A and B are shown apart, each in its own frame.
Chain A
Amino acid sequence: MKPIRLIIVAVGGQGNLLAARVLGEAAMAANIPVGMSEIHGMAQRGGVVESALVLGDAKSTIISDNAADILLGFEPSETLRALNKCHANSWVITNTKPLPPFTVNIGKGTYPDLTLMPQLIQQKVARLFTLNATELATQAGNILSVNIVLLGALTATKALPLSSQQMQDAIKKTVKKAFIDINLKAFALGEKAIKL
């Protein structure tokens, strides 16, 4: 299989690594070769967390600039920051709900104007899907399920050769038992939020 390269960017605490793990397990179960890498030096201390997933016939587990086929952003300003990872044929799926950095919160930085974001991204890449994943996660019963909402959205775009069922099985295998129901609900809400 020709490699598909996916970058996930998030703020520490948003569940990026768990999302990557779910995708990895789903790929394993589907017999698709998968390699992943992560950089999470200080995730618990509010930094950026980046995961890379390479599905298909490739050995590298990291993704160069302009080489990501899909960018999944858990936070809109982080999606913008990671656009250098994309190329003209990339698909971008992003949460629209901001999580401003501390400097912005205390008036020592400016958060980008998001009204222009969809247009800016659309001009540069092949497809853009946006959703308020934070709101959907709250609707599912736990704001922490924002990562699984976004996996639902990613699955619904059919950008990856992984079915809804394969993803749900991987969620059941990966998340803590007590959170399976909420996460499956979150996944379904994410799927529904995507119009192809």
Chain B
Amino acid sequence: MTHKLLTDNPGKSELMLGNEAIARGAIEAGLRVGATYPGTPSSEISLNLFQISQETDLYFEYSSNEKVAMEVAAAAAASGLRSMCIMKHVGLNVAADPLMTLAYIGVKGGMVIISADDPLMFSSQNEQDNRYYALLSGLPMLEPSSIDEARAMTKYAFELSEQLNEPVILRTTTRINHSTGKVVLDSILQSQKKGDFTKDPFKKVAIPAVSRNLHIQLLENIEKAASLSESSQWNITTGDGKWGIICNGVSYNYISDAITELNIADQIRVLRIGFSHPLPSKQIQAFLKACERVLVVEEGEPWMETQVKALAQEIECTIPIAGKSLEFFSRLYEYTPSKVRSVMASFFNVSDTKQDPLSLNDLPEIPGRPPNLCAGCSHRAAFYAVKQAAKSLDVEVIYPTDIGCYTLGVLPPLNMADYLICMGSSVGTGCGFSKALDKKVVAFIGDSTFFHSGIPGLVNAVFNQHQFTLVILDNGTTAMTGHQPHPGVDMSQWNLDNFTQVSIEKIVRAIGVPHVEVVRPYQVNKTIDAIKAAFNADGVSVVIAQEACTLVNKKRKKRAFRVTDKCQNHRVCINEFACPAFYLENNRLQINPSQCVGCAVCAQVCPENAIVPVKESS
């Protein structure tokens, strides 16, 4: 069956998720090579492109990290093919090294870099504003405000990239990626089949003598981009009032709705910036001259505001320009329609149309509903085993952790997370803690994260003879972001050829880790013993805990467990293991058979052996 994003029916309207619209835009542009490392809120772009690559000429790969993904796309673009790399905002930190010099080298085929930012941090460790990467690198940047624009802008980004011979950053926020709206399909361009690379080392090999010239070329390209931005269809002025608003991205939607609700359309003039780097300086200066006061509405940092004020200074414009600086808006979190409307009402001195909040003081307290490791999750079993093994030590244990489902181990009763910065940081910080403290250090990292950026840290640990234990929680998938593949995955289980599975154990042994244990965390006592042995080893030790993610493991026969009368209500199971399939009925433990996957770990945890499989016949 043809993938739904391949419908070749220009003019047809469809309901699409923002990420589907971006994937569609890339397909319409004739995307030939795509690469990614998964990360919310960008993941569905890659999911769709990977599916499409199974039935078209598109080559799409899950790379081992964002840096590699960008390099794969860069080489394709250097060969004249249209390419794209897709990542979340913090992924661009990983790819920042190629980004900065790729801007010098430039591209031949159109190349688009998707940076999916996450204001308010729905699923991220920070809310950095990646628009600064455009300023830092000098690369052109586009920012859509709607779902259909996400599609159209993605398609345009490839043309722009080829016009300037530079990669283009398409920067979104969660509310574009994970919003759904109407998209009008455009025609699909045929992708170029084969790449063509012209050798020209004195323009493509970034040695100092070459780069000195390439920097000149980059500055010229920024000038060219600036003139395109001045006349860009994506930088739109509407209205002819004296109250100015300069905005970008989803903020444009909020100010548009607020103008209607506040009934101030006659007074307002709006400049919506979609081609945001370089900013259209002359357009902004003309806009400032036409206004009595200007409000800059942008989530994140005062990125436009600072530049707009500098542009005002150039033309000696002294009208009030506000945004974050006069504390109208915050640099924190995402905006909401009512927040934007109330700031507009205050800045333009009109009355707000706010609905009164309901009085909710009399509501009963509502228990929280935090996400939890799944019933049967092997991470919970591994955490339990580490905790039991740690009881044999006479020092406190520090647990650096990493990014994945297992970060949820931070929650009680597991409490198995003490320090986390970024992807791969468990290993490097494990090295540091082991030198800084007289304590046992046990670091956790997932399989995909190990491939992403855990390996260099482990090489460091061996070379510098650090003393800690690394537990690699290998569930055979990139579970957190939606079960994407990674180099350790056996792709033949999905009937996909042309992949070679990379063994974590062989890597760990090849690095020269002096003590390596491979365990099945569902086997509780064996796992505890192996972890104890790893704790006692000299130098860095590694425990690889292998058990398939319970959400994708189709092989295991599900056989629920139940609690017998032997239960003495010790509640070791609840207090130390805490599987979400447990519940209390008449103050006795029960196991929900529809949630239980039959991992049998609780049966091994119970001191009375009171938990047994439900009989097949019953």
Contact = CB atoms under 8 A, between A and B. Distances in A.
B357 interface: yes
A25 B250 CA distance: 22
B520 interface: no
B161 to A, nearest CB: 28
Given A45-B405, A84-B357, A103-B368, A64 B15 contact: no
B190 interface: no
B355 A67 contact: yes
Interface stretch (B52-60, B370-378, B554-562): B370-378
Interface stretch (B31-39, B103-111, B173-181): B173-181
B356 A42 contact: no
B408 interface: yes
B364 A33 contact: no
Interface stretch (A110-118, A127-135, A184-192): A110-118
A44 B175 contact: no
- Kindly name the residue among B146, B363, B480, B574 whose own CB sees the greatest number of chain A CB atoms within 10 A: B363
Contacts of B179: 35-38, 61-62
Interface in A25-43: 25, 28, 33-42
B369 A11 contact: yes
A1 interface: no
A35 B357 contact: no
B303 interface: no
Given A11-B369, A25-B15, A84-B360, 12 more contacts: A20-B180, A35-B147, A38-B178, A46-B372, A60-B254, A63-B337, A64-B337, A65-B357, A84-B358, A88-B358, A109-B367, A110-B365
B358 A86 contact: yes
B584 interface: yes
A34 B366 contact: no
Interface string B24-44: 000000000000000010000
Interface string B569-605: 0000010001010111001000000000000000000
B359 interface: yes
Contact of B175 (A61, A66, A106, A107): A61
Interface string A70-109: 0000000110110110111000000000001111111101
A67 B338 contact: yes
Nearest to A25: B15
Contacts of B359: 124
Contact of A28 (B13, B250, B260): B13
Given A60-B253, A83-B363, A87-B358, A45 B372 contact: yes
A46 B358 contact: no
Contacts of B337: 60, 62-64, 67
Nearest to A125: B358
A54 to B, nearest CB: 9
A47 interface: yes
A21 B15 CA distance: 9
B367 A105 contact: no
Contacts of A159: none
A175 to B, nearest CB: 15
A113 B364 contact: yes
A18 interface: no
- Interface bracket on B: 35 or more
A192 B357 CA distance: 32
Contacts of A67: 337-338, 355
Contacts, number: 163
B362 A120 contact: yes
A148 to B, nearest CB: 18
B257 A120 contact: no
B293 interface: no
B132 interface: no
Interface of B: 13-15, 40, 122-123, 145-147, 175, 178-182, 250, 252-254, 256-257, 260, 336-339, 354-360, 362-374, 405, 408, 480, 551, 574, 578, 580, 582-584, 587
Given A33-B182, A38-B180, A64-B338, A107 B358 contact: no
Contacts of B356: 66, 87-88
A134 B204 CA distance: 63
Contacts of B369: 11, 46-48, 78, 101
A64 B336 contact: yes
A106 B256 contact: no
Nearest to A12: B371
Contacts of B366: 77, 80-81, 112
B78 to A, nearest CB: 37
Q: Quick one: which of B260, B358, B480 has the most chain A CB within 10 A?
A: B358
B180 A80 contact: no
B371 A46 contact: yes
B580 A102 contact: yes
B363 A66 contact: no
11 contacts: A35-B180, A36-B179, A38-B180, A41-B122, A57-B260, A58-B257, A61-B181, A65-B336, A66-B338, A84-B358, A106-B582
Contacts of A102: 372, 578, 580, 582
A42 B374 CA distance: 11
Given A28-B15, A37-B180, A66 B355 contact: yes
A45 B358 contact: no
A107 B367 CA distance: 11
